[in-house]
Amino acid sequence: MNDLIEFEEVVAELRSGLAEVHFDRQPPRGRRTVRRLAWLTASAALLVLVLLYVSPGVGDRIAWAAVARQPTPDEQDWITRDCAESLATTPGEWPDTLPELMTSEVRGNMATLMFAGDGWFATCIVEQLTRDDEFAPGLSAIHMGIAADRETLATGDDRLRFGILGLMPDALQGSTFVTGAVAPEITEVVIEVDGLGEVEATVANGWFTAWWPSREPFVVRGFGADNNLIAEATQP
């Protein structure tokens, strides 16, 4: 379950759907590699996705793990700082500071930090946490939305709800990226993906996150402290 799986990602597919986006190819200076590209609205889910700088080589190969690890304090610090600095220069009515950190995880070479509270949320994603080229690690995307509660998550019930993040399955070709909310009695979330097996989600503060290299149907199951099944929801 801990084995890393390598898979191909074709970042060029983003270009076909983002004709008005200009990709900045200038090398980053130091840690600050964030480059804002465009605003895209997803009105059905009341979400806004900010696409940021995608440097050369980002889709070559990405590692994945069915069980995530926690970011180191240093990783969590600079990702949070980069995310906050980006939000501070984002046009619109977004708050100047991030809400409270809900979940954080690293799967393979990708880090995800999810912040929520005060009626909104922000999910900060680093596609390449470590790099083997001249580019420093930096944010790949921030996925933001209003009303960060269960009602904004389309699938499930009051015990377990989840939603698939806007454009992320397309940005990571052949992948699925899920954010969800759970009742307090649910302490573990396991996602069974057709043809792939079980994915252990990161659960904290009533929220969970996970991603995996598949677009196949899946079932999300929430378990209690005594390993009893409390709720499940299916994505066909």
Q: What's residue 37's pLDDT?
A: 26
Please tell me the pTM assigned to this model. Answer: 0.74
- The number of CA neighbours under 13 Å toward the Cβ of 177 is 24
Residue with tokens 């969590």: 76
Residue with tokens 């809900």: 102
Residue with tokens 């190819």: 25
Q: What are phi and psi of 160, to 5 degrees?
A: -155, 120
Q: What's residue 67's pLDDT?
A: 97
pLDDT band at 208 (very low <50, low <70, confident <90, very high): very high
Residue 170, classified by CB atoms within 10 Å of its CB into exposed (0-12), middle (13-18) or buried (19+), is middle
Q: What is the pLDDT of residues 24-42, one digit of tens each?
A: 222 333 333 332 222 222 2
Contact present, 62 and 109 (Cβ < 8 Å): yes
Q: What is the pLDDT of residues 142-168, one digit of tens each?
A: 887 776 555 678 899 989 999 887 655
**Residue-by-residue DSSP string for 101-131:** EEEEEEETTEEEEEEEETTEEEEEEES-SS-
**Residue-by-residue DSSP string for 168-225:** HHHHSTT-EEEEEEE-TT--EEEEEETTTEEEE-EEETTEEEEEES--S-EEEEEE-T
